[in-house]
Amino acid sequence: MEEILILVGLVGCSSEQSAGFSGDAELAFVRIAEQRESEFLAYEHTIVVDTSEAKLAESFQSVAEACAADRENQCTVLHSEINHGQYNRASIRMRVKPEGVGTLVTLAAGSGDVVRRSTHVEDLAKTIADIDKRIAILTTTRDRLLELEERGAEDIESLIKITTELTTVQAELEEAMGQSAYQRQRVDLDILNIQFVVEAGRSFWSPILDSLSSFGQNLSEGLADTIYA
């Protein structure tokens, strides 16, 4: 199984870089998402956006809602998480048609500076071919067993063996067909991971406020340890 990792570009977290990715890099990332060199390639994209504390929840919510509304591209939220505390961050993992990736990426990028983008490509040609071959073999075996069952066996014991084997083959065939459908879905729909972090956009007072919020608990634990000692 062949795997390819494409890094579109990396930039720092400096506030002087307003868009992080733009121009040729932006176009290259969208082209990677939309164009396919083979019908057996599975794509997974990751974008990390450095936003502000004030925009974190709003950006997270807007992407989740945009995905839920994009029925044309069959967008589905697979996992979403938002954390508030010392390190504010949010992440959304989605499954969507290649044509829908660019819109979601643009929406997320508009909330801050894009600090990382990457595309991971996995070649599923051999996997799909092996599964299709197994389905063909199991289908032929099932059909032959059905013919034997219809003809009728010479005795009950033979009929029971045929029925048992037929049940086993049918179960294996259904499992293989399920695997085939899953692999085809991986090829037809991309995985898009969007992560929001608060680093450059973190306010000056945040570390101080975080320290003060935990000061009381740390003090009480320290006194308790001292008394115990």
Q: How confident is the model at residue 148 (pLDDT cuts 50, 70, 90)?
A: confident
Going by C-alpha positions, the residue among 103, 109, 140 that lies closest to residue 9 is 109
pLDDT at residue 180 tops 90: yes
Residue 32: per-residue pLDDT: 58
Q: Give the separation between CA 134 and CA 210, rounded to whole angstroms.
A: 58
Residue 217: per-residue pLDDT: 59
Exposed/middle/buried for residue 111 (C-beta within 10 Å: 0-12, 13-18, 19+): buried
Helix (H) and strand (E) counts for the chain? 6, 6
Q: What is the pTM of this model?
A: 0.69
- CA 128 remoteness from chain centre: 20
Q: What is the mean pLDDT of residues 194-207?
A: 66
What lies within 8 Å, CB to CB, of 7 at 6+ separation is 117, 118
207: tokens are: 């570390």
159 or 108, higher pLDDT: 108
Query: Residues 26, 108: contact at Cβ < 8 Å?
Result: no
Q: What are the two backbone dihedrals, phi and then psi, of residue 25, each rounded to the nearest 5 degrees?
A: -65, -40
- The model's pLDDT over 28-52, given as tens digits with 9 standing for 90+, comes to 555 555 666 678 999 999 999 999 9
Q: What is the mean pLDDT of residues 114-136?
A: 94
Q: What is the mean pLDDT of residues 48-74?
A: 94
Provide the residue type at 76 as one letter: T
Q: How confident is the model at residue 159 (pLDDT cuts 50, 70, 90)?
A: confident
73 or 201, higher pLDDT: 73
Query: Residues 99, 144: contact at Cβ < 8 Å?
Result: no
Q: What is the mean pLDDT of residues 127-143?
A: 96
Look-up of token digits 């733009």: 22
Q: What is the mean pLDDT of residues 148-158?
A: 76
156: tokens are: 């009950």
Q: What is the mean pLDDT of residues 4-21?
A: 37
Query: 10 Å Cβ neighbour count for 130?
Result: 13
Q: In the chain, what percentage of residues exceed pLDDT 90?
A: 53
Q: How confident is the model at residue 77 (pLDDT cuts 50, 70, 90)?
A: very high
* C-alpha dist (Å) from residue 218 to 87, 212, 228: 19, 10, 15
Q: How confident is the model at residue 85 (pLDDT cuts 50, 70, 90)?
A: confident
